[in-house]
Amino acid sequence: MSDSTQTLDETTLLNRVQAPEGEGREILDAATREAIGRAPVQSVADLDDAIARARAAQPGWEARGHEERSALLMKAADALEANAEVLARLLSREQGKPLNGPNARFEVGACSAWLRATASTPLETQVVVDDGEVYAELHYRAVGVVGAIGPWNWPMMISIWQIAPSLRMGNTVVIKPSEHTPLSVLAMLAIMNDVLPTDVLIGISGDREVGARLSSHPGIDKVMFTGSTATGRKIIEASAGNLARLTLELGGNDAGIILPGTDPKAIAQDLFWGAFINTGQTCAALKRLYVHDSIYDDVVDALAEVAALMPMGNGLDENNVLGPLQNKAQFDIVSGLVEDARANGGRIVTGGAPAPELGELFYPVTLVADVTDGVALVDEEQFGPVLPIIRYHDVDDAVASANGLDVGLGASVWGDRDEARRVAARIQAGTVWINSHGGVHPMIPFGGVKGSGYGLEFGVEGLKSVSVPQIING
């Protein structure tokens, strides 16, 4: 732990976290497919050692108390801000998202913002009974060692969502980043560990075997995971043996409903970014849009006009706001869903085919009109720059469609605010936004229902989720 904030260049930072020459696994630039560096490939034995060190460090970390831990998180935020540009450039290359727009610089800034908000959120002792005869208080204590498993779409920000509340409440953290985007997360951890005590926060870069062991390890008291529903189910099964507590933010297929009487041009920009933030690679992005017949064509035209103005390309180009798909597997999923929609009568309004002139993993913004429920692009999460637009005639039918899948992370309703709120109350989703989609706030709880997982993150509820309640009675 150091008291000074260092500002590092990209080469120095990368050398601190990557594997030695000739070792590790090569990580490619998502846009150019050139080598960025070599991710360490650690083993289950390395994980066992990391968890043992985290367990040894946890009592001392908890004993520092909320005030000191919060002060150190504030210093970690300072360190990230001092290195924000180098982190954003590494993130842009590894994940693919451009520097500008709601992308790489935005993500790094969100990491600092969430650290500060989490550090400054009070969690007061609650007096549950005080009737003159009985006095009882509800306290929240550290759960122990938190095992965190992060995704590749927002690798740094979602890692902070797991790390910040866990550390704030006195837990230590062992975190495994995605195999697709390990370097940016490891770089962030290295900067934070310049100010945090030894072994309070440990990164492990390994394969799926390491992730599976993290979920089932007897030394882990809490597992936090963001990723697919299928993997979430495996984590639930793996954690049964050690009874680890779980927070699972799983897959979504968020529906948006546009009510009759809404002005398409007034909402087109917000609709676009609700669907295509991070080139559509966002769990709570708008992924299927239900539009009333009376304004259907106008909404399609307004979205197409916005899409035509959004430049796509290499993320290090300051002009671009859309990037490639992060990996070939996801590129193939997106391509296959578009072709299936085309074969099932979908009308390609924009895009509709890969853009090899931009690079291997680029797929342009694609609007697919005139599709229906039952088509794979509507029923399955595309997780890419494609939006199916579905016509409806009756609001009850749109609500039924929104609720018809076994996911419920987010949803949105667009139109008159009072009417939209009435419709929102009927939708089965953890969050329903009114006249926007996908925005998160460090003080507003966030989590899914149905196949989108369980547990809450952010704010006071997020602090409680990485704690164990204790009643002091008397």
Domain CATH number, residue 222: 3.40.605.10
Token pair belonging to 54: 């985290």
CA 178, 184, 189: angle at the middle one, nearest 5? 95
Return the active site residues: 249, 283
If asked whether residues 223 and 240 sit together in one domain, one would say yes
Average pLDDT, the chain: 96
Contacts of 219 (CB under 8 A, 6+ apart): 48, 51, 52, 54, 55, 145
If asked whether residues 269 and 228 sit together in one domain, one would say no
Contacts of 134 (CB under 8 A, 6+ apart): 473
Judge contact between 117 and 190, C-beta under 8 A: no
* Structural domain includes residue 185: yes
* Structural domain includes residue 46: yes
Structural domain count, the chain: 2
Q: What are phi and psi of 253, to 5 degrees?
A: -140, 65
CA distance 100 to 88: 10
- Residue 418 pLDDT > 70, yes or no? yes
If asked whether residues 118 and 33 sit together in one domain, one would say yes
Judge contact between 61 and 170, C-beta under 8 A: yes
* Structural domain includes residue 55: yes
Judge contact between 221 and 195, C-beta under 8 A: no
If asked whether residues 180 and 310 sit together in one domain, one would say no
CA distance 163 to 140: 17
Burial class from Cβ neighbours inside 10 Å (0-12, 13-18, 19+) for residue 208 reads exposed
Judge contact between 253 and 401, C-beta under 8 A: no
Name the pLDDT band for 5 (thresholds 50, 70, 90). confident
Taking only the tens place, the pLDDT of each residue in 272-317 is 999 999 999 999 999 999 999 999 999 999 999 999 999 999 999 9
If asked whether residues 276 and 414 sit together in one domain, one would say yes
Taking only the tens place, the pLDDT of each residue in 149-160 is 999 999 999 999
- Residue 110 pLDDT > 70, yes or no? yes
Judge contact between 103 and 314, C-beta under 8 A: no
Name the pLDDT band for 4 (thresholds 50, 70, 90). low
How remote is the C-alpha of 291 from its chain's centroid? 27
CA distance 249 to 450: 11
Beta strand 135-142 with 126-130 is antiparallel
- Residue 250 pLDDT > 70, yes or no? yes
* Structural domain includes residue 447: no
* Structural domain includes residue 2: no
* Structural domain includes residue 463: yes
Point out which residues pair with 19 in neighbouring strands: none
Beta strand 449-450 with 407-408 is antiparallel
- Residue 66 pLDDT > 60, yes or no? yes
- Residue 2 pLDDT > 60, yes or no? no
Residue for token pair 């930072």: 13
Taking only the tens place, the pLDDT of each residue in 344-379 is 999 999 999 999 999 999 999 999 999 999 999 999
CA distance 23 to 83: 27
Point out which residues pair with 434 in neighbouring strands: 413
- Residue 232 pLDDT > 60, yes or no? yes
Point out which residues pair with 222 in neighbouring strands: 146, 245
The candidate with the shortest Cα–Cα distance to 387, out of 282, 263, 260, is 282
CA distance 397 to 404: 10
The candidate with the shortest Cα–Cα distance to 155, out of 201, 186, 116, is 186
If asked whether residues 281 and 372 sit together in one domain, one would say yes
Name the pLDDT band for 251 (thresholds 50, 70, 90). confident
Mean pLDDT along residues 138-162 = 98
If asked whether residues 192 and 167 sit together in one domain, one would say yes
Domain extent at residue 428: 254-442
Point out which residues pair with 389 in neighbouring strands: 289, 369
Token pair belonging to 315: 């993320």
CA distance 274 to 278: 10
pLDDT > 90 fraction of the chain, expressed in percent and rounded: 97
DSSP 3-state of 330: helix
